[in-house]
């Protein structure tokens, strides 16, 4: 059995329906300057990518069981050339981002300062903290 496959108990729920989920106002964090804390490499269904994540922008504790750390993040895709080398082109989103932040490699982004912005995930219809 895979780790994510866990047994569960079947239940019958009586009163279910659409509910109002808590909304988080991200406006107070837009424009804040924060440093990049981590760059991690991943392989997904569509190939390789990196996730660039900032230091904690804010820690929310009000009305929460456990504190929630807000961070800005951004995902950049990587490409594989004919010889199997993985990287990025100079005109790709990652290439432009690296040049903007005077970094030769994405690992050099750690410690660089960015300005927090929001990006809307159209599928989920939610805003997330990100940066350009």
Q: Taking the model in full, what pTM does it have?
A: 0.78
Short-list 69, 67, 89, CA closest to 78: 89
Range of the domain at 39: 27-131
Question: Is 59 inside any structural domain?
Answer: yes
Name all contacts of 86-89 with Cβ < 8 Å and 24+ positions apart: 86/48
User: Would 11 be classed as within a structural domain?
Assistant: no
For residue range 13-44, what is the model confidence (pLDDT) as tens digits?
888 888 776 678 899 999 999 999 999 999 99
Number of H helices and E strands in the chain, helices first, is: 1, 9
Question: DSSP class of residue 31?
Answer: T
The answer as to whether 22 is a domain residue is: no
Query: What would the pLDDT profile of 72-114 be if each residue is shown by its tens digit?
Result: 999 999 999 999 999 999 999 999 999 999 999 999 999 999 9
Give the chain's domain count. Answer: 1
Cβ(47)–Cβ(16) below 8 Å: no
Exposure pattern of 34-51 as b/e (b: 16+ CB <10 Å)?
bebeebeeeeeeeeeebe
């Amino acid at each position: 059995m895979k780790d994510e496959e866990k047994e569960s108990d079947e239940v019958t729920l009586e009163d279910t329906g659409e509910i109002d989920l808590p909304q988080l106002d991200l406006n107070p964090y837009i424009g804040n300057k924060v440093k990049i804390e981590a760059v991690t490499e991943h392989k997904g269904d569509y190939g390789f990518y990196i996730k660039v994540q900032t230091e904690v922008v804010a820690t929310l504790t009000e009305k929460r069981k456990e504190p929630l750390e807000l961070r800005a993040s951004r995902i950049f895709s990587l490409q594989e050339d004919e010889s199997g080398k993985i990287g990025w082109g100079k005109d790709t989103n990652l290439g432009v981002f690296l040049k903007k932040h005077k970094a030769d490699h994405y690992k050099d982004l750690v410690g660089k300062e960015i300005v927090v912005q929001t990006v809307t995930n159209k599928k989920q219809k939610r805003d997330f903290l990100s940066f350009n």
